[in-house]
Amino acid sequence: MKKFVVLTVWLIFVVFVSGCTGGYETTSTSSETSSRSPTELEEWKADGVIGEKEYAHNVSLAGGKLVVYWRNDEEFLYVALKGQTLGWVAIGFEPTDKMKDADMVFGWVENGEVKLIDAYSTGTTGPHPPDEQLGGSNDILEFGGREENGYTVIEFKRKLNTNDEYDKVLTPGQKVKFIFALADVDEFTTRHNIARGYGELILD
């Protein structure tokens, strides 16, 4: 009986942590946050180069495999994702249950061309089709990126409120929960295999 119970618990554990069917474990989300006064910021540019004073805040996740940078004003959110990969990087705002209802952005660089998808996760483990396939719209106003020294940097700008049902409404001062993931390939429908987890950012 004891062996059966142990085996059952082990199987449950394996199902929980494997693939997109699993949860987002705290072991993959250790973070370190730093901030800068908005008055010290330089001009934002979607060029794939993260300036020393370009973002007000940043948080390092998954042992530094991903760093999320952000700043905002009353109307727009500006984000940079720096991932230790030459594949895709992704962030998903305000999921309700694991991946479900996450307002997602996937970005990568393929043959020197920066590509970005405004997506939405329809289930707890996906899928996450582009907003446009669901009847929404692509609301990324500007984006850019680059690959360099084993890292991919993606920068993008969007409105806090896009009036798209597949984008989360964000407000100044809000504490925003997010999920993240990285893969070593460029195809965004391919399963994450480098890191995944969740974090939190606070808007100014």
Q: Is the dihedral of CA 133, 136, 141, 146 positive or negative?
A: negative
pLDDT in tens, 5-55: 333 333 333 322 333 544 433 334 445 676 776 678 999 999 999 999 999
Q: What is the pLDDT of residues 58-84, one digit of tens each?
A: 999 999 999 999 999 999 999 999 999
> If you search the block for the tokens 């760093």, which residue do you land on?
67
With left for phi above 0 and alpha for psi between -120 and 50, is residue 201 left, alpha or beta? beta
CATH T-level topology, domain 26-202: Immunoglobulin-like (2.60.40)
The Cβ of residue 44 has, within 10 Å, a number of other Cβ atoms equal to 17
Domain segments of the chain as ranges: 26-202
Q: Which residue has the tokens 């660089």?
A: 109
- 76-83 and 66-72 beta bridge pairing: antiparallel
